[in-house]
């Protein structure tokens, strides 16, 4: 298993940046998971480092200055891969659970410029092909309520997984105790409260609070091997047509004030 990823172009790389960055200025390699967790906690929009991490890649920009902690240069981002959150996600594609991996977190400093995200995804998937040969599918999700429409996944050759239902809202929700902000995520409600229903929380909290209904995530898949790619071509729910994504206005957050 190799820890580093070359930044030189490769015939196997289908999506390298054409402009915006100089790819030779960057090094991408496996790094300590504890550092990746800290970067995610401090800089990723979710601020959630509790996700299970299988592989954590650091994105380093070469600089004239010597960096004691990272000889490669300045750490400007991370890409985190791990087991999909949905335990049965692999079933939809007819594969075993250990044959799918999820791109769970991707953070790149805004100052870097265009095309860096697709470049990082390209290089890390190439690494997975060489070093984790059981992987057949890379899976990822984007949150339209955070104005993430999946542009970087389309740029990286992923396919959009269409849902059967046109309803964009989940039955779960986040809550705000002191106003419609500083939301407690639906997955973390059990950490703070006994109830996960609005009526139960009304009794438990005992004062006015706000509910933000969760929006369905947009789901994207990348076929790592040719066998999977051919199967995906016959799957009507998978498409590279960007017009199939529901309009972003459909995903406007629905927030309710719950008075006690």
Please tell me the pTM assigned to this model.
0.74
Split at pLDDT 50, 70, 90, the class of 26 is very high
pLDDT tens across 96-123, in order? Answer: 889 999 999 888 887 886 688 999 999 9
Cα distance between residue 69 and residue 19, in whole Å: 30
For the chain, the average pLDDT equals 81
For residues 120-146, give the mean pLDDT. Answer: 91
Give the residue from 99, 138, 108, 111 showing the smallest Cα distance to 14.
138
Query: Which CATH fold would you assign to the domain 4-164+217-249?
Result: Aminopeptidase (3.40.630)
Length of the chain: 260
pLDDT at 8 over 70: no
Place of tokens 């705000």: 176
Six-digit token pair at 249? 């206005």
pLDDT at 69 over 70: no
The torsion angles phi and psi of 60, rounded to 5 degrees, stand at -120, 135
Split at pLDDT 50, 70, 90, the class of 236 is confident
Contacts of 13 (CB under 8 A, 6+ apart): 122, 123, 126
Q: Are 127 and 101 in contact (CB under 8 A)?
A: no
Give the residue from 124, 127, 141 showing the smallest Cα distance to 51.
141
Q: So what's the pLDDT on residue 143?
A: 78
Give the residue from 139, 198, 186, 143 showing the smallest Cα distance to 168.
143
Domain ranges in the chain are 4-164+217-249, 169-215
Q: What is the CA radius of gyration of the chain?
A: 20
Q: So what's the pLDDT on residue 70?
A: 78
Q: So what's the pLDDT on residue 15?
A: 38
pLDDT at 16 over 50: no
Contacts of 25 (CB under 8 A, 6+ apart): 61, 62
Instruction: Write the CA distances from 149 to 10, 49, 95, 253, integer angstroms.
Output: 28, 22, 27, 14
């Amino acid at each position: 298993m190799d820890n580093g990823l070359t930044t030189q172009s490769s015939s196997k790389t289908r999506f390298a940046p054409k402009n915006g960055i100089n790819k030779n200025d960057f090094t991408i390699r496996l790094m300590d998971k504890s550092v990746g967790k800290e970067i995610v906690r401090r800089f990723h929009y979710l601020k959630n480092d509790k996700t299970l991490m299988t592989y954590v890649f650091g994105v380093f920009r070469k600089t004239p200055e010597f960096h004691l902690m990272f000889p490669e240069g300045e750490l400007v981002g991370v890409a985190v891969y791990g087991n999909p959150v949905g335990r049965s996600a692999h079933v939809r594609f007819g594969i075993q659970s250990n044959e799918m991996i999820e791109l769970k977190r991707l953070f790149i400093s805004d100052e870097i410029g265009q095309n860096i995200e697709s470049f990082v995804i390209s290089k890390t998937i190439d690494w997975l092909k060489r070093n984790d040969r059981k992987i057949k599918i890379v899976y990822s999700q984007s949150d339209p309520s955070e104005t993430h429409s999946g542009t970087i996944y389309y740029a990286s050759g992923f396919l959009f997984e269409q849902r059967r239902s046109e309803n964009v809202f989940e039955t779960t929700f986040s809550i705000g105790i002191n106003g419609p902000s500083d939301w407690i995520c639906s997955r973390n409600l059990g950490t703070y409260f006994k109830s996960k229903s609005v009526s139960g929380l009304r009794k438990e909290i005992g004062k006015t609070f706000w509910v933000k209904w969760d929006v369905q995530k947009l789901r994207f898949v990348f076929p790592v091997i040719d066998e999977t790619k051919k199967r995906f071509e016959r799957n009507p729910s998978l498409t590279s047509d960007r017009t199939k994504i529901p309009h972003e206005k459909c995903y406007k957050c629905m927030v309710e004030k719950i008075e006690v």
